[in-house]
Amino acid sequence: MSSQPSTTEEPQHPLAGTRMTGADMVVQVLADEQVDTIFGYSGGAILPTYDAVFRYNDHNRLANGKSPIPLIVPANEQGAGFMAAGYARASGKVGVVMVTSGPGATNTVTPVRDCQADSVPIVVICGQVPTQAIGTDAFQEAPVSAIMGAVAKHVFLVTDPELLEATMRSAFEIARTGRPGPVVIDIPKDIQNWEGVFTGSGALPLTGYRNRLQSVTGNRISDESCERFYGMLAESERPLIYAGGGVINGNATKAMRRLANAHGIPVATTLMALGASDTTHPLSLHMLGMHGMAFANYAVEDCDFLIAIGARFDDRVAGDPPRFAPNAKKIAHLDIDISEVGKVKSVHWHNVGLLARDLEDLGEYGRKIGFDKSFDAWHEHIAHLKAEHCLNYERDSALIQPYAVIEEINRITGGKAIIATGVGQHQMWAAQYFDFKEPRLWLTSGSMGTMGFGLPAAIGAQFAQPDRLVIDIDGDGSMRMNIGELETATTYGLPVKIIVFNNFGDGMVRQWQKLYYKGRMSGSDKSLHRKDFVKTAEADGFRFAQRLDDQSRLAAVIREFIDFEGPAFLEVIIDPDAGVYPMVGPGMSYDKMITGDYIKSRDKRDDEQPGPSEMF
């Protein structure tokens, strides 16, 4: 890729030379980028573009009568941002948000930061006050460039109307290439109303960006580098792949699975990489980290060659970096972002490039040299760890256990449903107890940990994958954050399934307060007993809205809930003391992992009582 726009002869756009308003150019570029859904909330400064969307849809209506680019209106702009994020995560395409100036733009700050932290491609189009009014504290003015510059991959403020069309195309290029992320375009109202000639091609120079991208895309693994990698693998007896969200973002799942399967290398994934490895496969160790599987964390402790792919050694995985993978004599790291290599943990071999291509090159080299080494003893050890230290909970409790609810849903869905979550205990239970046979089935706010993410993300995913079963696993605290989006689900007739685990407070915060703050429930035991979630769902149009508080009805209600044809809402009253285990405390190494009362720790005798830090 050159530092300048391509000069290759391309077919002329059928509308090239047509006079259009800036708003019409914005919408035409969206159509050219094959955008099929826009999420947004209107307002004065974005009205010209909203009108252009209406006119485009009216003029280009599909044979079935539907709009080619429907505009989905949420309860608020934060909901729009998370819907676009859910759409992008579930589809792999760029999500699009369109909001007005001032509060409309600032309400998208959290989704933009969330997408930047989890490398999710969205484009946010913000209306802005007219150019001459910028800086005058005009009505609904906000310094979008200053605010978003700190949290987005890139921000554009369009002040030259002649550059609007090229800016729109460049925004999509930046959002989807390299390490994906959110791009914000701030468009003053007078730029939207301006009229000029649509060229149908061209992009901004972006010299520095394209040069940096070229250094990554042009960096192929050499035979010498492959030889060194396979030399380390040959010396290893216990290799382990540590896969991060970059594997899914880089569409490298198939290549990683082929490499792992070819050589029998077990795979442990981060929270963001669930589905990169089929969790039902014998080589899968499911999830590692703070609330990862005990057997996965023990495998990390035991491995002698750690292969990090699209992962960044973050604090939820490597809370104590020097003691992370303590027995690994060698560490290899493949990523698309050079800044992640060596940032937390020193490595012995690395490659920065396109993950899918690089993993294929590694695998091809292995086939070429006929690499064949048995790791049978390691596989037996892994199987023992999985059998000995599997997930477990109090199965004879009279109270409904959240784990049992998820196990029942998982039994029905078989690891093929799209699962979105809020943030908290329910998020970790879902990550632990659901299976994921494919990538892009797991949608959660990982790095930012944003409560209120689950419901709008599930709605966005349902638009992206209308034929898939989409389930939002939420908590009572997280649900209240964006509860207005319940009506969005029914307004658009989406068959999304929503479960609220109600433990009447912020369960994860309470768990930490019980473990580390001597049970002082400061601000977390809110006793949210007045909120009737079922009546709320009914008021928002849910024909299926039930409360499950009788354990004997669990299987029957779950089946009815999943089988319901339209949007369905289920509140489950769970054991308020249900905890998330295993748990590796902040800044701790895996050998200090707390496994609770029902998951066996290899460092604790069967008859040993949990210490005070493990007791509620």
Q: In this predicted model, which residue has the larger pLDDT, 603 or 526? A: 603
Question: pLDDT tens digits for 384-425?
Answer: 999 999 999 999 999 999 999 999 999 999 999 999 999 999
Does one domain contain both 26 and 169?
A: yes
Q: Are residues 226 and 189 in the same domain?
A: no
Lowest-confidence pick of 6-15, 140-149, 375-384: 6-15
pLDDT tens string 109-146? 999 999 999 999 999 999 999 999 999 999 999 999 99
Q: In what order do the strands lie in the sheet with 95-99?
A: 71-72, 38-41, 95-99, 122-128, 182-188, 154-157
Residues 208 and 224 in one domain: no
Catalytically annotated residues = 77, 139-140, 189, 508
In tens, the pLDDT along 190-208 reads 999 999 999 999 999 999 9
* Residues 370 and 431 both lie in one domain: no
Average the pLDDT over 276-289 and give the result: 97
Residue 144 lies in a domain: yes
Domain limit, last residue, from 387, 416, 435: 387
Q: Domain for residue 606, yes or no?
A: no
Q: What is the mean pLDDT of residues 38-53?
A: 97
Q: Which two tokens stand for residue 220?
A: 């192929």
CATH number at residue 102: 3.40.50.970
Residue 6: predicted pLDDT: 47
Residue 586: inside a domain:
no
Which residue blocks in 39-188 are alpha helix, DSSP H? 47-59, 77-91, 103-106, 109-118, 144-148, 164-176
Please tell me the distance from the alpha carbon of residue 313 to that of residue 310, in angstroms, as a whole number. Answer: 10
**CA 44 – CA 46 distance, rounded (Å):** 6
Q: What is d(CA 29, CA 519) in angstroms, rounded to the nearest whole number?
A: 55
Backbone φ and ψ of 269, nearest 5°: -110, 155
pLDDT(336) > 70: yes
Q: What's the confidence (pLDDT) of residue 484?
A: 96
Q: Same domain for 527 and 565?
A: yes
Least confident of 77-91, 445-459, 515-529, 573-587: 515-529
pLDDT of residue 525: 67
- pLDDT category at 346 given cuts 50, 70, 90 is very high
Tell me: do 170 and 271 sit in the same domain: no
The verdict on residue 141 lying in a domain is: yes
Average pLDDT, stretch 478-504? 96
Say if 228 falls within a structural domain. Answer: yes
Mean pLDDT (the chain) is: 94
The pLDDT score that the predictor gives to residue 512 is 75
pLDDT value at residue 544:
98
**Of 352-356, 468-472, 518-522, which gets the smallest average pLDDT?**
518-522
Judged against a pLDDT cut of 70, whether residue 61 lies above it is answered with: yes
- Domain end: 354, 387, 420, which one? 387
> Looking at residue 8, what is its pLDDT?
53
What pLDDT was estimated at residue 611?
A: 42
CATH of the domain at 306: 3.40.50.1220
- Assess whether 358 and 424 both reside in one domain: no
Tell me which DSSP letter residue 593 carries.
Answer: -
How is residue 538 annotated by DSSP?
H
Rounded to an integer, the average pLDDT of 161-170 is 98
* pLDDT of amino acid 509: 78
Q: Same domain, yes or no, for 197 and 224? A: no
User: Pick from 73, 84, 75: which is nearest to 30 by CA?
Assistant: 84
Residue 41: its H or E element = strand 38-41
Q: What are the start-end ranges of the H helices in 389-506? A: 402-413, 425-433, 454-464, 476-481, 485-491
Residues 485 and 568 in one domain: yes
Are 160 and 35 members of one domain?
yes
Q: Rounded to a whole number, what is the largest CA-CA distance in the chain?
A: 81
| Residue-level pLDDT at 602 | 87
| Residue 345 is assigned to a structural domain of this protein | yes
Give mean pLDDT, residues 512-536. 78
422 and 522 housed in the same domain: yes
Q: What is the pLDDT of residue 506?
A: 81
> Rounded mean pLDDT of 556-579?
96
Q: Among 216, 231, 263, where does a domain finish?
A: 216
Mean pLDDT for 81-107 is: 98
Tell me if 326 is assigned to some domain: yes
200 three-state secondary structure:
coil
Give the range of the structural domain holding residue 497, as residue numbers without chain letter.
402-573
Task: Quote the percentage of the chain above a pLDDT of 70.
Answer: 96
Q: What percentage of the chain has pLDDT greater than the value 90? A: 90
- 600 domain-assigned: no
pLDDT interval class at 523 (50, 70, 90)? confident
Q: How confident is the model at residue 528 (pLDDT cuts 50, 70, 90)?
A: low
Number of structural domains the chain divides into: 3
| Cβ pair 272, 245 in contact under 8 A | yes
In this structure, the answer to whether residues 492 and 361 fall within a common structural domain is no
